[in-house]
Structures are given as structure tokens and as C-alpha cells.
Amino acid sequence: MIKIIRSTLITFSLVALFVGSSLVVAAESFVIKDIKVNGLQRITAGAVFNALSIKLGDEFSDQRSGDAIRELFGMGFFSDVSIDQNADVLIINVTERPAITSIELDGNKDIETEQLLTAFEDVGMAVGRVFNPLVLDKVKKELLQQYYNNGKYSASVETKVTTLERNRVAILINVSEGSAASIKKINIVGNKSFSDEEILGSFELTGPTLISFYTNSDQYSKQKLSADIERLSSFYQDRGYINFKVESTQVSISPDENGIYITINVKEGVVHTVSEVKLAGELVVSPDKLIPFVSVQPDDIFSRKKATQTSENITTLLGHEGYSFANVNMIPEIDAETSTVKITFFVDPGKRVYVRRVIMQGNVKTRDEVLRREVRQMEAAPISTLQVERSKDRLSRLGHFDEVDVETPAVAGTNDQVDVIYSVKEKSSGNILAGAGFSQSQGLVLNASISQNNFLGTGKRMSASFNNSDVNTVYSLGYTNPYYTIDGVSRGFNISYRTTDAEEANTSDYSTETFNTGVNFGLPLNERDRVGLGFDIEFTSLDIDDSLVVNRISDFVRENGDSYTNFKLSASWGTDSRNRAVFANKGGSKRLSGIITLPGSDLEFYKLTYNQKHYFAVTKHTTLYLNGNFGYGDSYGDAESLPFFENYYAGGKNSVRGFTDNTLGPKDEFGDAIGGSVKLVGNAEYIFPVPFMPESKTVRLSTFMDAGNVYDDEIDVGDLRYSVGVSAKWLSPFGALSVSLAMPLNDDEDDEVQVFQFSFGSGI
């Protein structure tokens, strides 16, 4: 929250205490027998007596009268105070300040009203408080300063105080924010080794650019300028200029108050190289373990970034070893004559900290053991920041919780023990869903599912689903126990029935009916890598129209029949480091999988597929996404080729956009796609947020370039198809919506082009 006012207001100076007040005292001192206070309305007499240092029975004099007036003005409740005497009675006359009955703001858009009212209350200006004109004046000045700091030099603030009955006032604050002055030019003075363009490339503030109307980078902000000056220092110190200084900064405003010119005067100094690197202090971890984490080396040009990174690396390593309060300071010794610097990393590990208890909170339905088997930090062991965070990540990936938080409070009465507390917020683990969507490739899609991802709090998953479209109709049942063994080996069973109309998917005219049942196992290799093994029995039957299909399909049916029983053995390896499964912005995943039919099957073939994805954070809100997909299939034994209904296909929203789904690659004699035994697809996307919604995790935009094709046996890179375009994806409350506009770059006359593609409710 923007802090509008920080300073403590001095209510009155000594001179102000006596403005408007009159003092009438007896020429001679007297003993006070009684004290009367006149003029009180809201303030109680008790509050006045508590503020006064004089009491009944005290001797009253001229000196004490001045003290009494200062004490009463110091309460802040009175605009006038006078003291009189009637015999031995002290009479105090006061005029109370009015009370604030309302505070209204008008015209403030950059700063929310609630935010301002909170700031006003911090300095004593709030509804029900006593009105003080000095406070209101201070508020006005501080509010103007906030707008000036954001480059709005034409801003104005007017206040109006309306007197109401019963000694009350209403305050109205009218704000005219005006428009922010734009930066016309940023000048760097004193730079010899680097050009202005090189230096300003790291700045957040810029002069006018083609996109500054969108980024607002040319709108002046005092805070942003301070951050840019720090970036300037880092720019030089990361390149060896250890004595670099920003000597002064001038910000000038054009006469019309719409333009700002910034001048930064610098003193570069000379480049320093590293002459020596040492580790000092209490090296509780072997230096051999620490040395690989030292980023800066002798004879390197000095870099503050590398030195800071080294300190952080060593601190992190010590945290992994139980020294969670370790401190590592970089101490440079500069030799001006040789332009070198000796760097010493002083290690203060503090005490080694142990975990007394690991505590789970918030898991009402989920059994404690389901959480504890994901925790890698052990009780009675030294605390490891790595294991604590890794445990949190594993709990988050379970999918049973909306939120997972971790705290490590110290154990009372000790200085070397902590508890590790994981607090979870459970979400509904059972879902009954029904929905509909539309895809250009599949038409109307109807789906329904019943799932229980945390059955009876055991962490086991059970599901039943139905999916129907113009292309596919699918019924499936599934069960998975993620901890079939205590070591995390999973076991699952599946059964499904599927019908497919290939012609509706823009391929040859045939349909399949498939029944599948199987068992699968998953074996963890480490925290991120996992291998899978599966065995399935699959029954497939074909329905073809001999008068329409090509000889290739009819020949296959003539040789192998139109129904098959296959025993499939599958294996996979996968690793996943993405920060989230949907709309990730860092990390990546790799997956290699293979399927082979075992001897005794009606068809003998195998398929290998490799997929790799990676997300690179370009800026805080933009991401570069790279995806590669390769598939290869072939027959073995007496079989001559991969079954045509097991072919790979390319083209469409999940492949090469701009081409109709599944239409790339080999064609039959009627011009229909028949797929291929080899698939090669690559995608590159630059992902950015919707304007004015940088933090949204449900909507994202991107520009992309796709490339890919399918082949018979051999890859011809020159035959790849390319497209470029823009895409939008939205995880709406009613289902996932994906839209793309793509332009093919090298389509042939036989290719089916589809510039606009979308799907709704059928996944992203």
C-alpha cells in the first residue's frame, strides 16, 4: 500500500499555543481550593484533569498558568484556552475544536479512496476525530507530493471545510490528478566506456518509444528512477568498475509541465580484476563442498553479481546442512595502484538447528500418513531448507489441496530447535462433472465424469468418464494407488471402450472399435524422475468401405483380417520441473515412452515417442515456450508395416496451426491423409499477459511459430511445413477456450489450410 503520510505531526509550536488565547491570572499566587472547566461539550472534565499537572491544594502562580495552558493545548482538542480566578477557585475556559463528521474524496483515480482514508487515519484525521487545520494542510501537501513523485506535476488538491451544527465539520478533498509528464530524454554524463544506448538498455524508464503508450515506460516515477540508478550501479560494478559512483541526478521539467528531462552524472573509475579469493570464518562445511559454489575466480574481472551470487550459494548450501541462520558476507580489499581486488567470503554459520517435530495442520479429510509420506524433512534431523521446500512442492503436486504453507517457528526455551509446520487447505477431492464443448476437428464434444482423487482420505484415485464427439466415443474406468508400496511405487488398473470415425478426423474412410484393459506401475527414480511399466490387452475391430478405401488399407485387411487381439507392453520415463501443470512459466518436462506388441499378438509392431517442453522466463510477465515432439513406429517379425490405424498425424491446434487437423503428410489416391510412421513437430511461442491483467493465471496470449510433418519411414527436413501466428487461451469457468490465427508459410496446393482455429470445452 502506498504510504501517503509517514511523518509525525507537531501539533503546535510554543508561539502557536498562545495564538487566540487570553491569560488572566491574579497578580498574587493562591492555593487552589476548586477547579472549574467551562466550555466542554464532548471532552470530559476527567480527561482535562488528567492532562493537568496542577491539583487541588497546589499553590497557583503565573509560572504554573503557562504550564497549564501548554498542557491543555497539547491535548489537541482545543482551539482556545484561557485561565481565570474567582477567589480561591481556578476557572479554565476552553473552546473545543469541532469533530469530523465526514471525509469525502473526489477525482482520485490513481490512489484508491480506502487507501487514502487509512493513511489519513494514521495521522489523526478520521471521522469522529477532532479536526485540526494543521493536519489537513499536511495531508494536502503530502498528497500532492505523491502525485509529483509519479510525474503528475499538474496535479492539484483543494480542500473545503464545511461547518455544521453541534460543533462539527465536513471535509471535502477535491483532487485534479492531471496527466503524467512524459520523459523526453535521459542523458548520461561522464560515461566513456559504454554508450548511452548500452546503459539505458537495462533501465525501466525510457524516452518515447513505439510501445511506450502500452508499457508507460516514458512516464516518470521517482521510485522507478531510484531503481534504475541502482541498475546503473550494478551495470558498472558487474563489469569490474568497483569504484563506480553516481555523483548527481537532475530532474528538470519543461515550462508546460508535460515534459521531463533526466540527467545522471557518473564517475566510472577503472576496471578491477580479482587477484585472490578466500574463504574465512567458521567453515563448518568442508571447503571442498563450498568451492564449487564460488562463482568468482582469480583473474576474473570483478563482478558484484557473481560475488553476491557466491554469498547466496554458500548460504543456501549451509541451510541444506542445518545452518538455517547462516550469514555469508563478501569483504573486498581494493588495491588502487594495481587496480585489483582481493575478495574474502566470511562465513558465520550460527548454530546448527534441528527439527523437533513435523506438524500437519488443516487436513480434516486426508489422512496424516498421506501427507507425511511426501515429506522429506525428518524429525530430530538437522533442518534442511532444501528438503523443507521440496516437501512443500510434493504436497502441492498431490492435487488434494488449494493451498500449502510452511512455517519453521523456534521452539520456546531453545536456540537450536524448530518445529516444521505444514498448513494445508483441502479442496474437494470428489468431482461429478458434465459439460459440452466444440472443436473444429471433432465437432460437438459431450463429456461426463465422476472422480475421487483422494478416496476416503487415502490418496487413492478412482474415476469413471464418458466422452463423445463426431470423431470419438469413449467410456473409461480407472483406479490408481500412488503408494502401492511404501517406497512410492504406484499401481493402477484401467478399462476402456472407444469407437473412432477416422473420416470425421479428416483422414481415410474407416472406423475402429477398441476395447482395452490393463495394469500399470510407476517407479520413482528420484524427486523428479519416474519410470512407468504397463501391460494391456486390446481388442480392435475395423469397419471399412471396400469401394472407397485405397488399396493400402484393403490390402492390410485382406492380409490380417478386420479384428485383432494384441498384448501390449509399455514403458516410459518422465521428468517434470514445471512450476505448475497448467499455464507454467518456468521449468520443463521430458517424456520418453514406448509400446510394443508381444509375441502371440495378431499384429507385431512397436512405437516410440519423445516429447520435451521448456519454459524460459524472459521478463517477470513474459515467457518463451519451446516444445518438440518426435514419434517413430514400425513393424517387426513377419509384419510388413506399422498398422495404418496406428499411424501418426500432424496439423491442427495441437500440432502445426494454420493447417487443418490431421491433414499433413502422405495422402491416399482420393487426397485424404493416411498418416505416417514418423512424426516430427516443433513449436516456439512467446507468451505474454493480457494488457492490464499481468498477474492472471487463467488467460494468456502468445505469438508462435510451428513446424512439422509426418513421413513414411524417412524424414525429409525440406518437406517440413511452417506457420506463424497469434494465439489466445482462456481457462473459463465453463471450460477451456483456445483460439489461434495462423498463416502457413510454405503450404503446397495439396495442403488443407485453416487460418482460424478454435476449440471450446475440450482441453488446452
Per-residue pLDDT tens over the stretch 629-639: 999 999 998 88
Give me the CATH number covering residue 748.
Answer: 2.40.160.50
3-state secondary structure of 461: strand
In a domain, 559, yes or no: yes
CB 701 within 8 A of CB 688: yes
Distance of CA 103 to the CA centre of its chain: 37
Q: Which residues contact 267 (CB under 8 A, 6 or more apart)?
A: 190, 243, 244, 245, 247
pTM score: 0.59
Answer yes or no: do 601 and 672 share one domain.
Answer: yes
* Burial track 420-454 (b if 16+ CB lie within 10 A, e otherwise): bebebebeebeeeeeeebbbebbeebebeeebbbb
Distances (CA, A) of 647 to 335, 599, 610, 632, 676: 70, 21, 15, 9, 5
For helices 222-237 and 304-320, the axis angle rounded to 10 degrees is 90
Identify the segments of the chain with pLDDT beneath 50: 1-27, 430-447, 762
d(CA 233, CA 246): 7
Answer yes or no: do 511 and 615 share one domain.
Answer: yes
pLDDT the model gives residue 355: 93
In a domain, 7, yes or no: no
- Around 641, how many Cα atoms within 13 Å sit in the side-chain half-sphere? 17
Identify the domain boundary among 233, 267, 301.
267
pLDDT the model gives residue 453: 67
In a domain, 8, yes or no: no
Evaluated on CA atoms 267, 270, 275, 277, the torsion sign reads: positive
Answer yes or no: do 585 and 701 share one domain.
Answer: yes
Question: Cα angle vertex 255, ends 249, 257, to 5°?
Answer: 75
In a domain, 116, yes or no: yes
Residue where the block lists cell 516410440: 608
Please write down the long-range contacts of 163-167, taking CB distance under 8 Å and 24 or more positions apart.
163/98, 164/98, 164/101, 166/41, 167/41, 167/42, 167/96, 167/98, 167/99
Answer yes or no: do 671 and 546 share one domain.
Answer: yes
d(CA 129, CA 131): 6
Q: Which residues contact 513 (CB under 8 A, 6 or more apart)?
A: 498, 499, 540, 541, 543
Answer yes or no: do 509 and 606 share one domain.
Answer: yes
In a domain, 693, yes or no: yes
Give me the CATH number covering residue 258.
Answer: 3.10.20.310
Residue where the block lists cell 465422476: 450
Domain span at residue 149 reads 99-176
d(CA 537, CA 602): 12
Answer yes or no: do 243 and 283 share one domain.
Answer: no
In a domain, 669, yes or no: yes
Answer yes or no: do 535 and 634 share one domain.
Answer: yes
Residue where the block lists cell 517407479: 523
DSSP assigned state of 719: G
In a domain, 9, yes or no: no
DSSP assigned state of 8: P
Answer yes or no: do 232 and 374 share one domain.
Answer: no
Answer yes or no: do 590 and 542 share one domain.
Answer: yes
Amino acid at 595: I
Number of separate domains in the chain? 6
Cell matching residue 721: 511445413
Q: Which residues contact 141 (CB under 8 A, 6 or more apart)?
A: none
CB 39 within 8 A of CB 95: yes
Answer yes or no: do 577 and 610 share one domain.
Answer: yes
Strand ranges, E, within 155-225: 156-164, 168-176, 182-189
In a domain, 107, yes or no: yes
Identify the domain boundary among 138, 161, 176.
176
CB 762 within 8 A of CB 729: no
Answer yes or no: do 541 and 627 share one domain.
Answer: yes
Identify the domain boundary among 154, 176, 198.
176
SS3 content of the chain, % helix, strand, coil (to 5): 20, 45, 40
Pick from 173, 177, 199, 204: nearest CA to 188: 199
Answer yes or no: do 530 and 634 share one domain.
Answer: yes
pLDDT the model gives residue 13: 35
pLDDT the model gives residue 8: 34
pLDDT the model gives residue 16: 38
pLDDT the model gives residue 436: 44
Cell matching residue 592: 520418453
